[in-house]
Amino acid sequence: MSKRDEERRRSAFTRRALMLGAGQLGLLGFLGYRLQKLQLQEGERYATLAEENRVSTRLLAPPRGRILDRAGRVVGANELHWRVLLTAEETEDVGATLDTFQHLLPLAEAERARVEREVRRRRRFVPIVVREFLSWEEMARIEVNAPDLPGISVDVGTTRSYPYAEHLAHVIGYVAPPAESDMDEDPLLGLPGIRVGRAGVERFHERTLRGRAGTVEMEVNAVGRVIRELDRREGQRGQEVQVSVDAELQKAVRGRIGEGTSVVVLDARNGEVLAMASQPSFDPNLFSSGISAAQWREWTRSRATPLINKTISGLYAPGSTFKMVVGLAALEAKVLSPADRVPCPGHYDLGDTRFHCWRRTGHGSLDLRQALKQSCDCYFYEAARRTGINRIAAMATRFGLGVDPGIDLPGAKPGLVPTREWRIRQGKPWNIGDTVVHGIGQGFYQLTPLSLATMTARLATGRAVQPHLTHSIDGKLVHGTRAEDWPSLGIPERDLELMREGMWAVVNEAGGTARAAALPAPLGVMAGKTGSVQVRRVTREQRERGYRAEAMPREWRPHALFVAFAPYDTPRYAISVVVEHGLSGAGAAAPLARDVMVDVMNRLRDAPAGPPARLAGQGSPRP
């Protein structure tokens, strides 16, 4: 090899060595840069990530707030219960463990399939619920046989209980497991054993009663198994809700009513609901432990609709209990005066149509007070014709009829008070005959027992009280518990007093339609109004043949209604009663209202009286 070739070879080697060295130096520089960035610039971030992988933060379910009645009795409580858990990693044979368990306690095949499915889906160290709501005897049986049940343990949970069961089911409601859509709203709802309100006060005050979740920080290994607890922050318990209902009064009322009957009792001074009962009902405790498919089918298919609170969602025509509203509308429109008399020959003719009074022989000539006392239909046919349906509807709205009742209870229906425009929107004309028949509370009206009680409370006090159930939250009174929280209706006191006098005469004066509803003398005086509502049209041919409603099948008989307030001089309680197919308000609803009012006054009359209910002083009715 020549010297020149040797130099050329050395020069090429030197260039390669320099390039390789430069590459190695660049690589080392890049690695150094990345190391510096990881340790100095991003070190804190990666340390946090590492800590998060080591520490698992889990939510703690807070205790659900209690529900109390007006006397402080617990009507919605939390109770401890035992449940059986299975940890798969603690047993060599899950199937054998479940076989042994089934020899001790029954386990439905569907439940066993669920447990086996959960074992396959979850990590083996995660406990799985096998059975809940064990009795003391069942829990003891499991504990005694623990050596033969590897992987099985007994755990303590909480369940919602309702001491007054079916008596307050429609008011308090019930809880049930959350739906998947609910869990997106609050991660707390994904915890095992959590229940959410599905009806009644439980649903309306769900956020208040739920509370806020606590947290526990656990150190876990690479596969997620808990090593130890690092920190714990307890959650905030749900707030305590006190309702205005008296549980013992509610129980007494339900003891007096039969199927298809609804009763609402309000504090006339402020609109608080004291009792709200309809039959039939259901046991809300069954929802806490899980109702069977057969039970659910029985409830939902029953014609008696036990799951429905008819006091807020049952819709009925008000019948003659509506006549005070018609009278007030006529007075306000100045189409009738208190002294104006209207003849009643037992029927009212309008063109070639004849409308009948409930008394075939008629009432003779009556003024407004007498027409209320004897519930004369012909008087109010004429009053409605003169007043017009829209004026009547406007007055009804002021008494809380046909509008949202605003009660703190889900499912309350506003009902319907028709107007001329409402009928036209249906593509049909409003005829003068429609107005006439609506003057006695028949026709298209659809009102709830709650709205009728609200109407009565407003008549008694002259205030625009609104029905409500919540009395206090965590001991703090809510707005509306004082009479002065509610404004005046803006109706002249003389007009209201005339309606009250007519209602007083209904119960306390000879010839009144509800003399049987008079209270025992020591309890004072009650004023009220009867009503009966046809559920089927009675034809002229049936009348001529001597129609008798009591001879009809039960489902064809009229509904019976009664509204009242007491004591007359200082109104404190307002009541509405609806007896489905009860024939007559005087015969079925009024005596029941009297008995309930006696219960109310005997149980609650010693409570603080509060401020005067009426806006202006009134004495006893004029003779």
Residues tagged active-site: 320
The alpha carbons of the chain give a radius of gyration, in whole angstroms, of 36
> In this structure, what is the dihedral angle of CA atoms 184, 186, 192, 194, given to the nearest 10 degrees?
-120
Among candidate residues 282, 268, 202, 232, the one with its CA nearest the CA of residue 528 = 268
Expressed in percent and rounded to 5, the helix, strand and coil fractions of the chain are 45, 20, 35
Task: Using DSSP, state whether 463 is helix, strand or coil.
Answer: strand
What is the rounded distance in angstroms from the CA atom of residue 94 to the CA atom of residue 542? 75
Phi, psi of 544 (to 5 degrees): -65, -30
What tokens were used for 334?
A: 């100045």
* Number of CB atoms found within 10 A of residue 560's CB: 26
Task: Tell me which residue has tokens 């009541």.
Answer: 575
H-helix segments, 186-276: 200-204, 206-210, 247-256
Is 95 exposed, middle or buried, given 0-12, 13-18 or 19+ CB atoms closer than 10 A? exposed
> Where do we find the tokens 């309890």?
523
Q: How far apart (Å, rounded) are the C-alpha atoms in residues 374 and 32? A: 104
d(CA 361, CA 345): 6
Burial class of 243 by CB neighbour count within 10 A (0 to 12, 13 to 18, 19+): buried
Structure letter (DSSP) for residue 483: G
* 358: Cα within 13 Å, side-chain hemisphere: 23
Look at residue 119 and give its three-state secondary structure.
Answer: helix
State CA 320 to chain mean position distance.
29
* Gap between the Cα atoms of 57 and 357, Å rounded: 75
Query: What residue type is assigned to position 268 of the chain?
Result: A
**Cα gap 329→435, rounded to integer Å:** 13
Residue 455 to residue 121: CA distance in whole angstroms:
58
Is residue 485 a contact partner of residue 468, using CB atoms and an 8 Å limit? no
Sign of CA dihedral 385, 387, 389, 392: negative
Beta bridge partners of 267: 573
